[in-house]
Structure 1
Amino acid sequence: MNAPVRSPMDVLALDTPLLRLRRHLAASGIAACLVPSSDPHLSEYLPARWQGRRWLSGFDGSAGSLVVGAQAAELWVDSRYWEQAGRQLQGSGIALRKAVPGVLREDLASLCSLAGPGGTVAVDADVLSLPVLEQLEALCRSRGNPLRTDIDPLAGAWPGRPGLPAGPIAALPPGAQGHERADRMRWLRERMQAHGADWHFVSALDEIAWLLGLRGSDVPYNPVFLAHLLVGPQGATLFIDPTRMPVDVRQALASEGIALAPYAGAREALRSLAPGASVLIDPRRTTAGHVQALPQDASLRQGTNPCALMKACKSDAEAAAIRRTMVQDGVALAEFFAELQEQLQGGAAPTELDIDAGITAARMRRPGFVGPSFATIAAFNANGAMPHYVATARAHARIAGNGLLLIDSGGQYTGGTTDITRMVAVGTPGDAQRRDCTLVLQALIALSTLHFPHGTRAPMIDAVARAPLWREHIDYGHGTGHGVGWYLNVHEGPQSISVRAEANADSALLPGMVTSVEPGIYRPGQWGVRIENLLLAIDKGENAFGRFMAFETLTLCPIDLDCLCLDRLTDAEVRWIDQYHATVREALLPEFASPQDERARRARQWLVERTRPVLR
């Protein structure tokens, strides 16, 4: 029998991104390559140009590592994405690999295995951190695999690859951060001197934006811009397309000794440093490619970027702005939840996409709103079991019947960044669902009410939130909390409330830090529960035992009591709920004073009802 004749469209359909990459690798003499979720700034959220892993695999989660060999390909993801990746990889020819925390990155070992004995391994050093590259180099040496780091595996395989983003850049109003750019540059140079460094190279986009008091729109959900910064003893150079800068901003930077140079010029500037130059870099926030560009005799000083800690400790002005922003966000949430309640009680069955649109529309009505701080997670029943689920036009649920709706959302405002998760009772949730919601709320309360010594390492308090769940032999795979920026990235460090984070001096909780608390329970195929507030670390004074701290809850939105088993709460937990609801009511009710505004009237009624005292 003659083989069927394929049309040009048939051939094109078979020419998948994965096949194109394999042809490119074979032509370059490469047996296997690594495509990480990364960019030249080691960002979490990536511009389209560096979303190669998504282009190749179809998996759109925010973290994961793709390993591609001539005959096999593997996607390594952590427990947050196991279920999502399993769905999205179907029919792709890419195997799902479940990564577990450990000293050795399993994807790197897999890379050498797929390359085979003597096979050349490739990775782009411009999107890999120095510690990861050093680990890969050691593996390749031990297994006899040549390693190339001078090639971007995607460069010759991705037709129509997006270019560099070039959104507008704006300066923050004077005094918005509570200190001026000159003050921050002076503080930074003092810390450089403490490290014995004359130069400091910064690639982390949020740190550059914070230090310079500028904001951009190059990265989805994050008000940052593509740039590198080289700070010297006197002046500094910002590597960015100068034409993107408003004239007044360029002039202001120049007046403070900050020169502009092309974005692509950072490597050459590092190569041109004087022999023996002492350079401070953060190995976890700087690509290996930039470190390799330094002169061989450069004196490398490694440590956490000073800006990371300076940025994490919010000034009084920033903290005050965040509190005002929380009121605006709370108003938007009250309006949204009041409307959602009316829809559900009226028999409507909105979709998860409608939830996303509705909550974004409510925030858009608030002053200072810029955009979402991440993709809204609206997940009904079984979809809630995927911690980072995002509904799409092709795959989403309709909210009807009985169960739990998980809504994790946030906003970027000119006064701060928000991140909140709430559970909504749809119809009549089952007893097991309400029990899980109660346990998660108890976990949140346990950590929210904690008092602890000044400088306690953030990972050390993770167990406080998990303890109520551990008593029931339940756990969750993600961290309990992450830092949150001030009108910057919704995820920031150096603090991380996670058993998997390193408990070192840089992870200490200090006054002014804003951190999420978001324990959860996930039952695959059934439902998921997560409740999240943002907390501000505050000073509680000093006594004979030392200096102590506590948390101030910033988020202003009621807890849905219909999701709870009230009889399982202790008296102290009930008091916390009542006190929290009283705070929410006091902060938000004045914002709904207009009797002529139907939306305000409905939100006010909802707020009064939802902040009622707990009756058992």
Structure 2
Amino acid sequence: MERILKISFGIFLMYSVTISMAFDEELIQKGELRKACSKRGNAAPPPQRVNTTMRLIALRELMSSEVRLFTHPVDAYLITSSDEHQSVEVADYDKRREYISGFSGSYGDAIVTMDKAILWTDGRYHLQADEQIDCNWLLMREGHKNIPTRSQWLKSQFPKGARLGANPQIISEYMWRKLTHELAEAKIELVALNVSLIDEIWPKNERPAKLNKDAFVWDIKYAGKNFTTKIKEVRELVKKAGADAMVVTSLDEIAWLLNIRGRDIPLSPFLRSYLIFDMDDAFLYVNWKQLEKNDVFRYLHAKFEFKHNDTVQIRNYTEIWTDLRIKSQLYQKILIPSHCVYSEGASHAIYEHIFADKRLPHQSPIIYLKSVKNPVEIEGMKIAHIKDGAAMCKFFAYIEAQMANGKIFSEMAMASILDDFRYQQLQSLGNSFTTIIGFAANSAKPHYIPTRNTNANVYNNGTVVIESGAQYYEGTTSVTRTIHYGEPDSLMKDAYTRVLIGQMAFAGLTFPNNMKMADSDVLVRKSLWEVGLDYLHETGHGIGTFLGVKESPIAIQYDLEVATKQTFKSGQFFTVEPGYYREGYFGVRLQNVYQVIDKPWLQHTSGHKYIGFKTLTLVPYQQKMFAFEQLSTQQRKWLNRYNEEIRQEVGAELKRHNSMEGFYWMMENTKYIPENGAAIISTRFTLISALVLSLKFL
């Protein structure tokens, strides 16, 4: 009888769990599954949660005011994460979506109606968004099944039609057209408002100032090609596309094309500007005071008495809007950048300021030119990653030594120390993005950034995910390592090793140059998939050379449509960053930067060339996180070769600067791994282990 009762209770428990999971799935699809937002309890809200009640009231008052809108009221208002240039990362001044919602992640869109507020974001930010947005908001967790799109949700809310307002300067034409098409049947009109509603309700004394720092020239010894040559190449491609002029709106494209850099976007070396060029002239729209120092005027030939076709004429930043109307009359066709992977293309406002019959929507040729680095840029990226490896080793050595003496660091303190080590490197402009350091439960949030409300102390009983990067004159870096200052448990080791195996499998890949990017992702995730694990973010993305840390056209994700069409090109650089995250417990992520290289000694029978990858990131893995029995002889050999390269390249850099603490730490953490000690696991044991692990990781 006792045995029957135990079985019955087990069945009841399994049934209850199934019902609960189904109920949670329904709430997720509605956006209603929210932490500490239950109407039946009084759970304490997360400390980082932002109260947006008054902000939403102010916004809704504006939405209903014909006087302040200069048009009829709107039923809903869309707020994107973009600035006027559709940047991936934006200045604090432009974080409108963060202001209205409280969510600080880099990706996400918000829609506010008269009685609802809803946020969409992807798997990197599900946990973070849930803790930051208050209970006024619904949360749509993209990546889960049956999550409605923005259009689908709007159509469900307004079956008889509505007016959806938006700021046309911060929405790409790509998104505008897509929404217009999807909402047309439901008679929901997308309305371009002449007033930015978030700007109206954001108090000036609370809003960060707009940055206007001096621009500077990126020297030819780093760029490898002067701007006049680049403009000539782009002009030829614009002409080939069927246009006689082009408007450039993306800040990283202008920075690359003109070899000038700025600091208007924190952590990205960009100058806020627009550019229009035709076959003879080029016009840069910028705050001209930012060009007065550092010989930028002279470099751009802007002060020449006689104009040449390599002269860049300087215009005031806001004159772009009048000049587009005037200049578009002079051309047969003007190329306007369209959507390309992470590059949203030009805004709807840019499109609307060019006569319809003169528009030629086209992916920017600059994206593909700058993604393939020239020999000088390639060498620079290698130098940057050696410097970065040295900075990371010095940081790890310092923290480990201090903790051994009993010192306790918070996440924010560790981030600050790492930033200092990076900034101390020669030709460093500091970080390429905000340093991510998450301990224990915080490490399970893929893009968690510590704040004063969440800042945890780091102890020896959990994993620490550390993701950071730098902007060196030679190149841009990004690296992630997961460490443990105590003894990791078997689940942590298993997850870490599976993530590492995926990264090693990718690094050793040789393939024909017609293979699609999406296909490579299978190798990275395979070891996790074998036990039913995965991560809800992309595996990798392109990275610039003293430019953006995330750039088009490379996107690595097996189910991403664009990745099923794109191929790798020799000379490109990108990240690979697999991970695993168990909410409330621990997280693991490892990230390296790779270079695409030719393998000319191989020839495919179909005539295609073979290419492969070279690992640029040179930072040791933590060996005590390895589940050694899972590593094959070949994988151990790869790790030994990798560690030998770190010793040679980073070791020389550390000794050159007399950083002996970092050198000794590096030598200890790149010690030889026995290559013939891989355990042979039986098929039966493997199946049982996989089943147990998958149950434990639920």
- Alignment TM-score, normalising by the size of structure 1: 0.93
Q: Equivalent residue of 2:220, what SS? A: coil
**Is the aligned partner of 1:39 residue 2:86?**
no
* Counterpart-to-counterpart distance in 2, 1:14 and 1:509: 44
Q: Equivalent residue of 2:471, what SS? A: strand
Q: Equivalent residue of 1:156, what SS? A: helix
**Equivalent in 264, 269, 274 of residue 318 of structure 2:** 264
1:516-558 CA-partner distances (Å, limit 9, x unpaired): 0111111111111111110111111152533111111111111
**Is the aligned partner of 1:295 residue 2:333?**
no
**Equivalent in 213, 217, 225 of residue 171 of structure 1:** 217
**How far has the Cα of 1:186 moved from its partner?**
0.7
In structure 2, the residue matched to 1:7 is none
**Is the aligned partner of 1:317 residue 2:376?**
yes
| Contact 2:227 2:258 (8 Å CA) reproduced | yes
Q: Equivalent residue of 1:550, what SS? A: strand
1:413-464 CA-partner distances (Å, limit 9, x unpaired): 1111110001112210101100000000000001111111124332231112
Mean CA deviation greater in 560-569 or 535-544: 535-544
Q: Equivalent residue of 2:457, what SS? A: coil
* Counterpart-to-counterpart distance in 2, 1:104 and 1:578: 44
Distance 1:501 1:203, change over 3 A: farther
Mean CA deviation greater in 124-133 or 246-255: 246-255
**How far has the Cα of 1:401 moved from its partner?**
3.2
**How far has the Cα of 1:406 moved from its partner?**
0.8
* Counterpart-to-counterpart distance in 1, 2:229 and 2:661: 47
**How far has the Cα of 1:114 moved from its partner?**
4.8
**Is the aligned partner of 1:470 residue 2:470?**
no
Q: Equivalent residue of 1:126, what SS? A: coil
**Equivalent in 581, 592, 614 of residue 654 of structure 2:** 592
* Counterpart-to-counterpart distance in 2, 1:34 and 1:99: 17
Mean CA deviation greater in 393-402 or 210-219: 393-402
What are the residue-to-residue correspondences of 1:377-456 with 2, within 5 Å? 377-456=436-515
In structure 1, the residue matched to 2:163 is 120
**How far has the Cα of 1:242 moved from its partner?**
1.5
In structure 1, the residue matched to 2:434 is 375
In structure 2, the residue matched to 1:129 is 172
**Is the aligned partner of 1:16 residue 2:54?**
yes
Q: Which amino acid aligns with 1:281?
A: I
Distance 1:505 1:200, change over 3 A: farther
**Is the aligned partner of 1:57 residue 2:112?**
no
| Contact 1:495 1:506 (8 Å CA) reproduced | no
Mean CA deviation greater in 487-496 or 22-31: 22-31
Mean CA deviation greater in 273-282 or 331-340: 273-282
In structure 2, the residue matched to 1:3 is none
What are the residue-to-residue correspondences of 1:559-578 with 2, within 5 Å? 559-578=621-640
**Equivalent in 62, 74, 82 of residue 126 of structure 2:** 82
Q: Equivalent residue of 1:40, what SS? A: coil
The structure number with the bigger radius of gyration is 2
**Equivalent in 364, 376, 383 of residue 423 of structure 2:** 364
In structure 1, the residue matched to 2:48 is none
Q: Equivalent residue of 1:593, what SS? A: helix
In structure 1, the residue matched to 2:385 is 326
| Contact 1:411 1:417 (8 Å CA) reproduced | yes
**Is the aligned partner of 1:249 residue 2:296?**
yes
**Is the aligned partner of 1:278 residue 2:333?**
yes
In structure 2, the residue matched to 1:144 is 187
In structure 2, the residue matched to 1:547 is 609
**Is the aligned partner of 1:223 residue 2:269?**
yes
Mean CA deviation greater in 158-167 or 327-336: 158-167
Mean CA deviation greater in 250-259 or 188-197: 250-259
Distance 1:155 1:332, change over 3 A: closer
Q: Which amino acid aligns with 2:653?
A: E
* Counterpart-to-counterpart distance in 1, 2:347 and 2:529: 38
Q: Equivalent residue of 1:326, what SS? A: helix
Mean CA deviation greater in 500-509 or 125-134: 500-509
1:578-602 CA-partner distances (Å, limit 9, x unpaired): 000000001122233379x5xx222
| Contact 1:455 1:510 (8 Å CA) reproduced | no
* Counterpart-to-counterpart distance in 1, 2:154 and 2:603: 54
**Equivalent in 228, 236, 239 of residue 190 of structure 1:** 236
In structure 1, the residue matched to 2:32 is none
| Contact 1:460 1:503 (8 Å CA) reproduced | no
In structure 1, the residue matched to 2:286 is 240
In structure 2, the residue matched to 1:158 is 202
In structure 2, the residue matched to 1:524 is 583
Unaligned ranges ≥5, structure 1 = 1-12
**How far has the Cα of 1:269 moved from its partner?**
2.0
* Counterpart-to-counterpart distance in 1, 2:148 and 2:366: 28
**How far has the Cα of 1:486 moved from its partner?**
0.4
* Counterpart-to-counterpart distance in 2, 1:276 and 1:328: 47
Distance 1:147 1:601, change over 3 A: closer
- Calculate percent identity across the aligned residue pairs: 28
| Contact 1:33 1:111 (8 Å CA) reproduced | no
Q: Which amino acid aligns with 1:570?
A: S
| Contact 1:585 1:608 (8 Å CA) reproduced | yes
| Contact 1:31 1:114 (8 Å CA) reproduced | no
In structure 2, the residue matched to 1:10 is none
Q: Equivalent residue of 1:269, what SS? A: helix
* Counterpart-to-counterpart distance in 1, 2:574 and 2:609: 20
In structure 1, the residue matched to 2:406 is 347
Q: Which amino acid aligns with 1:17?
A: R
Unaligned ranges ≥5, structure 2 = 1-50, 67-72, 305-309, 340-344, 678-698
1:338-379 CA-partner distances (Å, limit 9, x unpaired): 112112323332111121011111112211111111111111
In structure 1, the residue matched to 2:140 is 97
In structure 1, the residue matched to 2:693 is none
RMSD (Å), alpha carbons: 2.1
* Counterpart-to-counterpart distance in 2, 1:601 and 1:146: 65
Q: Equivalent residue of 1:244, what SS? A: helix
* Counterpart-to-counterpart distance in 1, 2:314 and 2:640: 54
In structure 2, the residue matched to 1:8 is none
**How far has the Cα of 1:276 moved from its partner?**
6.4
**How far has the Cα of 1:14 moved from its partner?**
9.2
Distance 1:505 1:568, change over 3 A: closer
Q: Equivalent residue of 2:110, what SS? A: strand
Mean CA deviation greater in 453-462 or 205-214: 453-462
**Is the aligned partner of 1:556 residue 2:611?**
no
**How far has the Cα of 1:192 moved from its partner?**
0.7
What are the residue-to-residue correspondences of 1:454-533 with 2, within 5 Å? 454-503=513-562, 507-533=566-592
**Equivalent in 581, 585, 590 of residue 643 of structure 2:** 581
Distance 1:234 1:175, change over 3 A: farther
* Counterpart-to-counterpart distance in 2, 1:536 and 1:17: 46
| Contact 1:281 1:303 (8 Å CA) reproduced | yes
Q: Which amino acid aligns with 1:313?
A: V
Distance 1:156 1:116, change over 3 A: farther
* Counterpart-to-counterpart distance in 2, 1:316 and 1:78: 36
1:86-113 CA-partner distances (Å, limit 9, x unpaired): 111134x112122238999712333455
* Counterpart-to-counterpart distance in 1, 2:363 and 2:91: 24
In structure 1, the residue matched to 2:256 is 210
Aligned length: 599
* Counterpart-to-counterpart distance in 2, 1:190 and 1:594: 45
